[in-house]
Amino acid sequence: MSVTRAALITGGSRGIGAEIARRLAEEGFALTLAARGAEALEETARRLRADTGAEVQTVPTRMNDPERIAALTAAHDERFGRLDLLVSSAGTGTAGPVADLPAATYERMMEVNLRGPLLLIQRALPLLRRTARRDPARGARIVALASMTGVAGEAGLAAYGASKAALISLCETVSLEESGNGVNVTALSPGYVDTDMSAWKHGDVPPEAMITTGDIAELVLALSRLSANAVVPNIVVSRAGDRLWRA
C-alpha cells in the first residue's frame, strides 16, 4: 500500500514504545509494532487504530532471535514499502553488583540490548536508504533507547550500563557511516522513566519523580521532524534534582 510516512517500533506493546507509537500515529505515521507478547501487542495496536485511525500491523518478535528480526523488517517492507523512522525501544535489564553477576545475565543483556539493535539496523538499512533517496530533504532516522547509565555509571547496573554504552557508540558509528546516505541515528539516554521496567526502583525513586514516557515520545517526535542535515548523536535526559549525571 502507499503511505506518506512509516515507522517500525520494537518494544511497542507498552511503556515507552507504546507511547512513541501513539504520538507517531497521531502524527500520521503508519506503524509496524514489534514485541514479545502477541496478545499485548495486538491490544495496543487495536487501541491505536480505534483512537487515531492509523494503519498498524503487529509482528511478534524476540530481539535475541536473528530470524525473527529478519522477518520483522521484511514484513514492514512488504506492508509499507518505506521506513522513515526506526525506533529500537525493546530492552532488558537486571540489577546486581559486578562481583555477583552471573555470566548468563550479562550475556542476555548484551544479546537483547546490543546485538538485537545491531541486527535490526543491519536488516533495516537497505529500506532506510531507499526511503532517504525518495525524500532527500528529510532523509530517514533511527532512534535507539539507551540509558543514562550508558553515559555515567551507576552502582548495581554495570552490565546494563555497559550494554547501553555500547549501544550509544553503535549509534554514533552508524551515523558516521550512513548520514551521507541520508540515514541519521540518535541514542536517547534518559534516567529512570516511569514504566513497569523501573518499578523495582520505586523505593528509592518514586514514580512521580521519574521522567515520563511522554517526555521521551516528544523527543522522538521532534527528531522525526528534523532535516537530513541535522545529526543528533545522543540526547541525555536527567531527572530534576541536585545531581545531573545519575539515572
Active-site residue numbers?
Answer: 160
What is the 3 state secondary structure string of the chain? CCCCCEEEEECCCCHHHHHHHHHHHHCCCEEEEECCCHHHHHHHHHHHHHHHCCCEEECCCCCCCHHHHHHHHHHHHHHHCCCCEEEECCCCCCCECHHHCCHHHHHHHHHHHHHHHHHHHHHHHHHHHHHHHHCCCCCEEEEEECCHHHCCCCCCEHHHHHHHHHHHHHHHHHHHHHHHHCEEEEEEEECCECCHHHHHHCCCCCHHHCECHHHHHHHHHHHHCCCCCCCCCEEEECCCCCCCCCC
